[in-house]
Amino acid sequence: HGSAWQAVSEMRRSIVGELNLLQKKIMKDGVIKAGNVLKVDSFLNHQIDVPFISELGKEFKKLFGDRQVDKILTIEASGIGIACLTAVYFGVPVLFAKKSAGSNMDKDVYEVKSFTHNKVNHVVASKKYLNAGEHILIMDDFLANGCAVQGLIDLVKQAGGIVEGVGICIEKGFQGGGDELRASGIDVKSLAIIEKMDAETGTITFR
């Protein structure tokens, strides 16, 4: 009994040893909800573990360091944290697209409609802060079907900017959005790609 158990736990340890920083954190603190939703409220989506997310920012700087990045574009609200903690290492500003034009929002905006499949959303960015010829790194916390990122790409294109790449913390690979973007020639880099997850057993398989 003892030795078999030891073998299993050693195997588990060696698998965990191959995981990167974010994958380990997801294994430790992520909660799988019904409907293929992963909750990471303890460090990314509600409470923000700033030193930890800052390490992810450093990682994105390594991954996209050879690119020209003039600005990082994300979408409110949950992309702002990772975008800012990456922008520190690039030394560039962050622009976050707003989900609806508030009363104090500029009227002169680029706009994307019909943003998600189940709800008509308007996502806007002021023409003041998104300019022709700018090299943009798009970032978000999650990538699932890819609607959010597609919308951000659309905004950059409207402005005449250049999409240098897309940096994602957690990609749900089984939802296909990331691969669709890659197939269209976009440089998508995700720190953790979930291939499979099971709410009942609590298991997660990474690509």
Question: Which residues, 138 to 197, sit near ligand 5GP by CB under 6 A?
Answer: 140-148, 172, 177
Tokens encoding 114 = 């019909």
Region 59-88 residues binding ligand 5GP, contact defined as CB under 6 A? 78
The residue among 65 and 176 lying less far from ligand 5GP, judged by its C-beta, is: 176
Min CB(4)–ligand 5GP separation in Å: 35
SS3 12: helix
The reply to whether 45 sits near ligand 5GP by the rule CB under 6 A is yes
b/e 62-71 (16+ beta carbons within 10 angstroms → b): ebbeeeebbb
- Cβ atoms of 101 and 113 closer than 8 Å: no
**Which is closer to ligand 5GP, CB of 12 or CB of 39?**
39
Burial letters 6-31, b for 16+ CB under 10 A, else e: eeeeeeeeeeeeeeeebbebbbeebe
Nearer to ligand 5GP, 21 or 147 (CB): 147
Please select the residue that binds ligand 5GP; options are 7, 11, 37, 50, rule is CB under 6 A. 37
Residues 84-123: x where in contact with ligand 5GP by CB under 6 A, - otherwise, as a string:
----------------------------------------
Nearer to ligand 5GP, 59 or 140 (CB): 140
The DSSP letter of residue 66 is T
Residue 39's SS3 state is strand
Q: Which stretch binds ligand 5GP (CB under 6 A): 22-30, 31-39, 64-72, 120-128?
A: 31-39
3-state SS assignment for residue 88 = helix
126: buried, middle or exposed (CB in 10 Å: 19+, 13-18, 0-12)?
Answer: middle
Nearer to ligand 5GP among residue 41 and residue 106 (C-beta) = 41
Chain contacts with ligand 5GP (rule: CB under 6 A)? 37-39, 45, 78, 140-148, 172, 177
